[in-house]
Amino acid sequence: MGELRIAGHLIWAKIRSEAQYPASLIAHLIAQVLVLGLDLLAIWALFLRVHALGGWTRGQVLGLYAISGTAFGIGDLFVSAVERTAEHVRLGTFDRFLLRPAGTLIQLLANEFELRRLGRLIQPVVVLVLVLTSVAVDWTPAHIALCAAMIVGATTMYSAIWVSTAALAFWIPSTQEFANAFTYGGQYASQYPISIMGEWMRRILLTAIPLGLVAYVPGIELFGAANPMGIARWMSFVAPFAGVPVALAAGLLWRAGTRHYRSTGS
């Protein structure tokens, strides 16, 4: 709790700093919302040509897009700054995180927090609200819990992937481009039903980078969507927790990386 309070103070200081330039902040937020609008426009244009995608209707695909985007936006706001680990290691500024009375990861995330990243969260949240109030979903207590678990599980998965790939910077410099292939690339792929993808991509999204487990698989149950892969129904309720072991592995990898780090003496 002490570390979280320290992180809270650092984040609040960053928010107040960015709030000093409201025009710049608003411009960044609007720009991110507009850029994300291109992905939404792509889905809309696609359904002008087809009536279903892998058996999923437009509303169901938009629901998958919104949940995946919301989870990614939360992770982007609070965790994606870990990508700057390589820069701190290269410049030797990672040393200062080792001197403070808090965990290095929490310090790094708080120190690099940027409120302008909120723009990536606004649009999918709006789409999510619109979809969940318009698409026919049987809102039983189990489905309400499943929807929440999908968002939390996907956020955990994205965050774990960010931390894991960033931790490689302790051994390999310049890992950000490599990390982006898994985070941004994985998020784009998880916006669509994975049943429409090739077998090798389906295996990646269900095993190696299991983003399909926290989005597509539970989405089948939540939206009552087509299930051409024949995934068992019980998997929909278990799959959102796939991010937990990935997060634990990410934590172990980060700790191993910090132990491997050699101070510059600065």
Looking at the DSSP bridge assignments, the partners of residue 53 are 56
Helices marked H in the chain — which ranges? 2-19, 22-46, 58-78, 85-91, 95-99, 104-111, 119-134, 141-167, 176-189, 199-203, 211-214, 216-223, 233-238, 243-260
Instruction: Tell me the per-residue pLDDT of 32-82, one tens digit each, with 9 for 90 and over.
Output: 888 888 888 888 888 888 888 889 999 999 999 999 999 999 999 999 889
Q: How confident is the model at residue 219 (pLDDT cuts 50, 70, 90)?
A: very high
pLDDT at 181 over 90: no
Domain coordinates in residue numbering, the chain? 2-260
- From residue 173, alpha-carbon distances to 36, 43, 81, 85, 218 in Å are 30, 36, 16, 10, 37
**With a threshold of 0.75, does the pTM exceed it?**
yes
| Residue burial 216-226, b: 16+ Cβ < 10 Å; e: rest | bbbbbbbbebb
Instruction: Tell me the per-residue pLDDT of 196-208, one tens digit each, with 9 for 90 and over.
Output: 888 888 888 888 8
d(CA 64, CA 66): 5
Nearest 5°: phi and psi at 53?
Answer: -125, 105
pLDDT score at 265: 63
pLDDT at 101 over 80: no
Instruction: Tell me the per-residue pLDDT of 22-40, one tens digit each, with 9 for 90 and over.
Output: 888 888 888 888 888 888 8
Instruction: Tell me the per-residue pLDDT of 228-264, one tens digit each, with 9 for 90 and over.
Output: 888 898 999 999 999 999 999 999 999 999 988 887 6
Do residues 75 and 99 make contact, with C-beta atoms less than 8 angstroms apart? Answer: no
- What the block records as the tokens of 236 is 């929909």
pLDDT score at 4: 72
pLDDT score at 221: 92
